[in-house]
Structure 1
Amino acid sequence: MIISFNANSLARVHDLAPDIPTSLLASSPNDPEGLIALAKTAKTRSLDLAYGLCTREVTSYLISRGYSVWAWTVDDTRTMQNLVNDGVSVITTNVPSKALDTFRPLD
């Protein structure tokens, strides 16, 4: 997996090694069509967004258009749970223990 803020670099990775998954990091724009335009430039179907961009509406819209939505950097359990409930598939965190406590299946 290669993630980057640079859409052109990710497009180049895709051209050279299309089997390597990529995800575009983005902290703006906050409109879904702008994010899709960036993802198209990057030749990726995965957007790794600053978690503040991951509203329920934006996440649902992107998923309905075939994109996976990731969120960074989330360090509190309530936000983690809300994002996953809204469809975010990957959480980046500085506190993995909180993510484990939040998402570990109960025995």
Structure 2
Amino acid sequence: MIIIPAYNPGKYLASAIKSCLNQRYKNYTITVVDDNSTEDLKETLRRYPSVNYIRNEENIGPGASRNVGIRATNGDLVSLLDADDIMHSRKLKETIKAFKKKPNIGMT
């Protein structure tokens, strides 16, 4: 599960989502947690129907928005990405490989 907290991300959100969709590992979901943006994120998200969308009723900040996304997941692994960032195409694959190699490790 990739969680993207977003508050008025402008043009950056599409790049963040595209970088997630280009992952070499394919068994994951993407959830955008809209922190009550004044921008209409749904317009951007219409281009990405596979992306889940959660909208906070009020602005609670990026940390709390990440937690909203974490509570909504049922996956074993959660990866966080800010809306103005991009994810390397091998990030999930390499992270999962590391966990399989040493299942008792932790990462933040």
TM-score after normalising by structure 1: 0.35
Q: With CA pairs under 8 Å and 6+ residues apart, which has the higher RCO, 1 or 2?
A: 2
Specify which structure has the higher proportion of helix: 1
- Taking structure 2 as the reference length, the TM-score comes to 0.35
